Amino acid sequence: MPAYRQAKDQLTHIKKVAQITVQKNEVELLKATLPGTRLPIWLLDCPSLFEREGGPYTSTKGETWPDNAQRFAVFSRVIAAIATDQIGLDWQPDILHCNDWQTALAPVILHFEKSRPGIIFTIHNLAYQGVFPYSTFVDLQLPSELWSFDSMEFYDEFSFIKGGIVYADQVTTVSPTYATEIQTKEYGAGLEKLLQFHSEKLTGVINGINKEEWNPNKDNNIDTTYSIKTLSLKTKNKLALQKELGLEVGGNIPLLASISRLVAQKGIDLIVGVLPYLKNFKVQYVILGSGEKALETALTKAANTNPEQVFVRVGYDETLAHKITAAADFFIMPSRYEPCGLNQMYSQHYGTIPIVRKTGGLADTVIDETSKSAESIKNTGIIFEKDSAVDLLKAIIRGLDIYSNKTIWEKMQLNAMRQDFSWKNSAMQYLDLYTRILDKQ
Ligand code: ADP
């Protein structure tokens, strides 16, 4: 990864292992160990490109850095140089695993090399494609043959992500359903035809969750830790949160929650649509998030209108996120599209029942099927299909109905907590893909 200051600051014993000049940029390769592990990591140090105030892709004001194409072209070129042992490390990888458009030029550059490693390219969110004007293509001095519709040209513009899709040996997304969805017009963001064409090499592997960080039995952020064996203690977290946020305190009041970036992708407008109807039910709803101003304002307004039932905290707060996940009965996630999604997995791990829209990773990780009897239910959550506030409301009402039947409710909570969202599962699938690529070479 680039040597962002925040990354460098967390490392000790950094060693400079190589140096390279790429399009007039001096880049140093730094080696260190990922804190708490024995995993070696390399950082590409080029302060003029990567050490800036603000985020990796935007300034402190949230404006996209104007030289993002140049920044990640340099990044990709150094990766390609490492992958072909042109940087003096005397080492070459068997597999290069690139993530998102920022790395997508590496497979392109390697396409022109005689001896290259196997390449896998993972799409984490197809909405972010790295599309730039033709002049950027010219500036980057790439071979003119790449300017074609089956290469990197995209409706008269220059698309980084197309490079990854076209030139990698395998392409993955972060859930099987999303891998299928992005081949349709509705979810394909203009790339559906290209993805259909490459469908033979396109698969989905669901992300795992960090069970050290998200474990109700070890979580230092929450009022009372609990596990499958001590599930009844979960309620104490609800009481503590209600008290902390100034809501009516009561273990039997169903508590709904959402923690999210407040953007259209996450279906926040459906939540806004539902909030006025909560008056008809004895429920509370806690929302934590930040993002688009209009959504922040709409949610805050709803909370001000109905403070007995709705609590909204605008901001980013990891401790509060843990408290909410442990305290809530339902986690609402009505995403329009969701490449994988983490919160529905955290919630299930905490015995908090997710209510989700049937899309992407949500459809792959939440179980909601009809069963013959109450005893045999395998369900771990509630799924609804249409992206409409009415359908979300209906799903919530269905949830409240189940909540009132303590036997089924508890069965569902235990089912949810028993789901395996470990990285081990996903790692095995990646290993399988790596092996397949190597076998073909
Ligand atoms: P995305 O990456 O699309 O935002 P994910 O569900 O994959 O969605 O991951 C979002 C992560 O960010 C989760 O761990 C979630 O808890 C966290 N998160 C989002 N908004 C906030 C917030 N306002 N405060 C704390 N954590 C947040």
Cα 153 vs. chain centroid, distance in angstroms?
A: 27
Average pLDDT of adjacent 10-residue blocks, the chain of 441 residues: 93 94 95 94 96 91 94 98 94 97 98 95 97 98 96 98 98 98 98 98 97 96 98 98 98 98 96 97 97 96 97 97 98 98 98 98 96 84 97 98 95 97 95 95 82
CA of 154 to the centre of ligand 1 (A): 31
With H, G, I as helix, E, B as strand and everything else as coil, classify residue 252.
coil
CA of 145 to the centre of ligand 1 (A): 40
Q: Which atom of ligand 1 is nearest to the CA of 344?
A: 6
The one-character DSSP state at 74 is H
CA of 170 to the centre of ligand 1 (A): 28
Determine the Cα–Cα distance for residues 333 and 383; give it in Å rounded to an integer.
10
- What's the pLDDT tens digit per position in 114-131? 999 999 999 999 999 999
CA of 412 to the centre of ligand 1 (A): 24
Residue closest via CA to ligand 1's atom 17 equals 260
- What's the pLDDT tens digit per position in 52-80? 998 899 999 889 999 999 999 999 999 99
Global pTM reads: 0.95
**What is the per-residue pLDDT for 186?**
97
Q: Which atom of ligand 1 is nearest to the CA of 318?
A: 25
Quick one: tokens of 284? 């509370």
CA of 403 to the centre of ligand 1 (A): 26
The CATH number of domain 228-420 is 3.40.190.10: no
Pocket-testing residue among 212, 259, 295, ligand 1, by greatest number of atoms within 8 A of Cβ? 259
Strand ranges inside 292-409, DSSP E: 310-314, 330-333, 353-357, 382-384
**What is the per-residue pLDDT for 432?**
97
Residue closest via CA to ligand 1's atom 2 equals 341
CA of 261 to the centre of ligand 1 (A): 6
Q: Which atom of ligand 1 is nearest to the CA of 313?
A: 23
* Domain 86-208+422-441 shares a fold with domain 228-420: yes
Determine the Cα–Cα distance for residues 198 and 200; give it in Å rounded to an integer.
6
Residue closest via CA to ligand 1's atom 19 equals 260
Residue closest via CA to ligand 1's atom 20 equals 260
CA of 125 to the centre of ligand 1 (A): 14
Residue closest via CA to ligand 1's atom 3 equals 341
Determine the Cα–Cα distance for residues 82 and 94; give it in Å rounded to an integer.
12
Cβ density class 118-149: b for 16+ within 10 Å, e for less: bbbbbbbbbeebbbbeeebbebbebeeebeee
CA of 260 to the centre of ligand 1 (A): 5
**What is the per-residue pLDDT for 158?**
98
CA of 344 to the centre of ligand 1 (A): 11
CB 338, CB 359: distance < 8 Å:
yes
Alpha helices in 154-286 (DSSP H): 160-167, 176-181, 192-197, 234-245, 268-274
CA of 259 to the centre of ligand 1 (A): 7
Determine the Cα–Cα distance for residues 232 and 410; give it in Å rounded to an integer.
10
Count of residues making up the chain: 441
Q: Which atom of ligand 1 is nearest to the CA of 288?
A: 23
Instruction: Select from 20, 13, 132 the least CA-distant residue to 75.
Output: 20
Cβ density class 261-288: b for 16+ within 10 Å, e for less: ebbeebbbbbbbbbbeebeeeebbbbbb
Q: Which atom of ligand 1 is nearest to the CA of 266?
A: 3
Residue closest via CA to ligand 1's atom 11 equals 342
Specify burial of residue 387 (Cβ count, 10 A radius: 0-12, 13-18, 19+).
middle
Determine the Cα–Cα distance for residues 166 and 152; give it in Å rounded to an integer.
8
Q: Which atom of ligand 1 is nearest to the CA of 338?
A: 3
Residue closest via CA to ligand 1's atom 5 equals 341
**What is the per-residue pLDDT for 370?**
82
Residue closest via CA to ligand 1's atom 7 equals 341
CA of 342 to the centre of ligand 1 (A): 7
Ligand 1, CB within 6 Å, residue ranges: 259-261, 288-290, 316-318, 321, 340-343
Q: Which atom of ligand 1 is nearest to the CA of 333?
A: 6
**What is the per-residue pLDDT for 372?**
74
* Domain residue ranges in the chain: 1-66, 86-208+422-441, 228-420
- For 344, half-sphere exposure in the C-beta direction (CA atoms, 13 angstrom radius) is 29
Say which CATH superfamily domain 86-208+422-441 falls into: Glycogen Phosphorylase B; (3.40.50.2000)
CA of 166 to the centre of ligand 1 (A): 30
**What is the per-residue pLDDT for 292?**
94
